[in-house]
Amino acid sequence: MIALLKRDLALALRAGGGFGLGLAFFLIVVVLVPFGVGPEADVLTRIAPGILWVGALLAALLSLDRIFALDFEDGSLALLATSPLPLEAAGLVKATAHWITTGLPLTLAAPLFGFLLSMETTAYGYLLVSLLIGTPALSMIGTFGAALTVGLKRGGLLLSLLVLPLYVPTLIFGAEAVRRGAAGLDASAPLILQAGITAGCFAILPFATAAVLRINLR
């Protein structure tokens, strides 16, 4: 498992791996929003939590089809399926690698982008914590979606259509936690619910991912 994780991380970090692409995309979304809604600081302050969460979600979506596509094409996915490591664990590792290369950098960069959108100062901690709890769920759900569409020639658009509705609960609780933090309210309830969703995703979705991969490799 560790070897697979290291391999995936190395592949993502090397040239052409697309590391940093999600981060750049996130930055562009954050830069484009003021052009769309106007530069007034009070408007930006109000919508900053939502924009940051939606931006992080879209940035995570961007790199999903890389999770399995290359491995599927060069046959290493078939090798993984026949290896002693169960496919469920492989799915878990893939999701973890995706999180380390996209979710974690997004989380760490988000407070900086919050500064660009003149977010409420009380919200920074909540933003960091809610993204830290929520982005693993995004990676795991995305891994399932990527496994569903891995056999398709042009699965990218379909992947977004399948995955985005699944992101709804994560987004709701994540953005709600930051909004409550910005308003100075108690945000523990949405954070706990979001942690529950993340834990549930990691408990169930590796099995669904493995089942779907087996079907696609048949």
Using an 8 Å Cβ cutoff, are 213 and 150 in contact?
yes
Residue number with CB closer to another protein (101 or 198): 198
Nearest Cα to Cα of residue 174 among 197, 205, 145: 197
Could you give the residue ranges of the DSSP H alpha helices within 14-167? 21-37, 41-62, 66-73, 76-82, 87-98, 104-116, 123-148, 156-166
**Whole-number Å distance between alpha carbons of 141 and 135:** 10
CB of 6 to another protein, least distance (A): 29
Q: Which of 42, 82, 165, 186 binds another protein (CB under 8 A)?
A: 165
Give the interface segment with another protein, choosing from 8-16, 85-93, 99-107, 152-160 (CB under 8 A).
Answer: 152-160
Among 80, 178, 195, 205, binds another protein (CB under 8 A): 205
CB of 120 to another protein, least distance (A): 19
Out of 30, 176, 178, 187, the only residue in the binding site for another protein (CB under 8 A) is: 176
**Among candidates 76, 67, 71, 72, which has minimal Cα distance to 103?**
67
- Tell me the window of 1-9, 48-56, 127-135, 160-168 that interacts with another protein (CB under 8 A): 160-168
Q: Which of 69, 82, 57 is nearest to 12 (CA)?
A: 69
Q: Which of 102/149 has CB closer to another protein?
A: 149
**143: amino acid identity, one letter:** T
Judged by CB under 8 A, does residue 58 bind another protein? no
Pick the stretch among 73-81, 101-109, 120-128, 171-179 that binds another protein (CB under 8 A): 171-179
Q: How far is CA 98 from CA 7, 10, 41, 43, 65, in A?
A: 12, 12, 34, 33, 11
Binding site for another protein (CB under 8 A): 144, 148-149, 151-152, 155, 158, 161-162, 164-166, 168-169, 172-173, 176, 190, 193, 197, 204-205, 208, 211-212, 215-216, 218
